[in-house]
Amino acid sequence: MVTTIRNLYLILLLVGLLSSGVLSCTRYRQSDTEDRLEKIQRQIDNDQYEESIHQLQEILKSEPNNDRARAILASVYVRRAGVVVKNYFDLAKIATMTDTESSEPVIDTQSLKKIEEQGGAPVKNLAVFLRKVNETAAQADKIVKKFEAIPVVSNQSARDLQSALLNLEEMKDPTPGMLLYRGIIKLYYFKFLWVNHALLPVGDGRLCSLSAIEIARKLKIMNEYSFKMMIDIAAGFPKEMESIAKQARQFQAVMSSAQIYLLKLPNSELSLKQIFKLQLKDLNVRNITCDF
Amino acid sequence: MRFLGVIFILLISMTVHASRGRVLNMSAAPFFLDGNRSFISHKVLGTTCSSFRSLSHEPVCNAALLGENQKIESGRDHPDSLIFPKGYFAANIFFGDDYEILYKNKDAIEADDKMILAESLLSERDPVSFSGSANLWWRGETLALIYQPLRLTYFSLVKNQAYPDIVIHAMQEQSMAVQWGGFLNSDLRIGLQARLIDRKFVHEEFNLFDAIPEMDRHLVLRSQKLILIEPGFVYEVHGDEDVEQWRPLLTANLTNIGFADHLYDDVPSRAVLDTGFSLSPPIAFGDWELGLNYRWASQIDGDKKMRLASQYRLGLAGFLFAIDQDQWSFGVISNYRSVSAGLMYERTRAENIDGQSKYEDSGYVEFRISL
């Protein structure tokens, strides 16, 4: 009997030692990049932004082609900007809608018609340009109205979004999902730029205070930005890609056309308001002033 | 005292490594292995359940432990509280918290509406876990039949709200098990459990933006039918009167062995081996059982570990407690005539970021009726 008890103690002791040995010999999975990225994602959820940025930059130094790390780095800035894309699914439905209701034209169309009827070639060019301004502003306004759910971010948050986009532009071989993500962030930034009149400042005399050359430059920037934005978004919707791409090309065509007519205007270094005055002074057109 | 010393050594060997946290990548994988753990006692005890002889009112975890009634009839001394009825029918329902979120997502799962499901998940910041089931069983002296007409499990986690990685598990399962166990000789018992399982599930981890362009390939409903043959062994340690009073057992249980119509990489398919021992220290009031189990083999990261558990029963009430390096559980069960109810609380360490742990808390309830 004593032998049996002693054996029991020995067995139990052996089990204890063995399990200690097993536990200490257990190979812990070495931290690889994916493990680090997972840990960083948890840090982001815990609002540890600076530490996350630092660690992601370290990873990108050794793995500059790691697009996933780059996307996660962008997401830190996006998260810090207070932009949470959980409303993405509503945005997705809106993006595939064909048309919203038309907005009010910036420049009164009846007046435009009078200008066209009465003026010679230079004035007609001005009138065509102003029609293009109407179309461009209407298209941009449609985009903004479609995505009313997107909040307007603060200046600081906009700087964070810009940092995010700079990182996303450096992706080497992005997946369609990463392109979609970039497009969504561009959409947020687009809204900020539009609402703050940084793209094409329309209304309250802002456009008229700019020179024709300056307006053409802004149209070019807006053209490139919005086209790339819409193509990025289209990458995430293979079935609707053609429809979205078609909308993007239409918008691009309108703005390109506006640029062309703008550069045909005489005295393009003058402000639009001054060009208006010069072009319309001999015409019998009342109540047309450049105040948009 | 010597026994306590040895237990102390085992505890030390366990707690030395207790500080390592567990990374939950697919923490829902254990749901595939916990099908027969749909009772408060089983859930609290966890892997140690395979070593506990004192589960009198529910199916055993180790089929070899069914032989308790044979032992009684052989005339050996036993505590009154361990008098097992010769045969009885019983039924229970068992479920955890976060049911509301499960119910909300269950409709989307059944309707196969992936967009609504994914949108709903994005709104859940913390991990959500749920388990619920209904069971009917008959337990005799050496034979038991268990039918589980429905078992539902759910787990979801969203990582990084600004560029979400989503972990989701949702499963509906039905099963039937037959257990047989008995004595080979005075020391050794063997048992066998045969289980039929039919499950449908969604079990996946993906990045939301990468999934959108090809949503049809994600959140796909999968099915699996299994036949599992699971042997169990119990060795009764005999000695002098002291030893007999402590009633030590050494146990081994092999589970998750059998055949499946489909095998999936992310569903555990390898055998799981649990070995352990239990003691029933003699005390003045009530019955007390202590058990220790080590899981030697499992595909799930962090599953190979020691677990210590204890059950104390006095009169109508039973108290259970268990702990391992990542989790501790506490449960209370009360029996009155043919009705019983139980509650349990479980805290699991979910993360270990820079020394800071995050915990998941869960509560479960069981209602049972015996005939």
DSSP letters for B95-123: EES-HHHHHHHHHHHHTT-HHHHHHHHHT
| A167: chain B residues, CB-CB within 8 Å | none
Instruction: Give the C-alpha distances (Å, rounded to integers) separating A58 from A51, A62, A80, A163.
Output: 11, 7, 19, 17
pLDDT digits (tens, 9 = 90+) for B139-192: 988 899 999 999 998 888 888 888 988 888 889 999 999 999 988 888 899 999
Contact check, Cβ <8 Å, B212/A84? no
- Residue A149: both structure tokens together: 């759910």
Q: What is the pLDDT of residue A86?
A: 63
pLDDT at A108 over 90: no
The DSSP 8-state label assigned to residue A73 in this structure reads H
Q: Does B231 touch chain A (CB under 8 A)?
A: no
Q: What is the pLDDT of residue B351?
A: 64
- Rounded Cα distance between B183 and A243, Å, is 74
- Rounded Cα distance between B270 and B297, Å, is 8
Q: Does A42 touch chain B (CB under 8 A)?
A: yes
pLDDT at A94 over 60: yes
A44: nearest CB among B12, B122, B160? B160
Span A60-84, average pLDDT: 92
Q: Which residue has the tokens 């989307």?
A: B108
pLDDT at A56 over 60: yes
DSSP A1-47: -HHHHHHHHHHHHHHHHHHHHHHHH--PPPP-HHHHHHHHHHHHHTT
- Residue B9: both structure tokens together: 């050594």
- The pTM (predicted TM-score) of the whole model is 0.77
- Kindly give the interhelix angle for A2-25 and B2-15, rounded to the nearest 10 degrees: 10
pLDDT digits (tens, 9 = 90+) for A227-247: 899 899 888 888 888 888 888
Nearest to A33 by CA among A90, A85, A1, A72: A72
Contacts of A74 (CB under 8 A, 6+ apart): A163, A164, A165, A167, A168, A181, A182, A185, B163
- Determine the residue type at A267: N
- Residue B185: both structure tokens together: 């000789």
- Residue A224: both structure tokens together: 């490139």
Q: What is the pLDDT of residue A68?
A: 94
* Residue A268 pLDDT grade (very low, low, confident, very high; cuts 50, 70, 90): confident
Instruction: Give the C-alpha distances (Å, rounded to integers) separating A61 from A55, A70, A72, A77, A215.
Output: 10, 11, 15, 18, 40
Q: Does A287 touch chain B (CB under 8 A)?
A: no
Let me know: does B283 contact B302? Beta carbons within 8 Å.
no
A50 Cα to chain B: minimum distance (Å): 15
Contact check, Cβ <8 Å, A177/B213? yes
pLDDT in tens, chain B (371 residues): 444 444 444 433 333 232 222 223 456 677 888 777 789 999 999 999 999 987 777 899 999 998 766 555 444 444 444 555 568 899 999 988 766 666 676 777 677 676 676 677 666 777 878 888 999 999 988 899 999 999 998 888 888 888 988 888 889 999 999 999 988 888 899 999 999 999 999 998 899 899 888 888 888 999 999 999 999 999 998 888 877 888 899 999 999 999 999 998 888 888 899 999 999 998 888 889 999 999 987 777 777 789 999 999 998 899 999 999 989 999 999 988 889 999 999 998 876 655 666 778 889 999 999 87
Q: What is the pLDDT of residue B322?
A: 97
Contact check, Cβ <8 Å, B14/A19? yes
- Rounded Cα distance between B336 and B4, Å, is 34
| B212: chain A residues, CB-CB within 8 Å | 92, 177, 180, 236-237
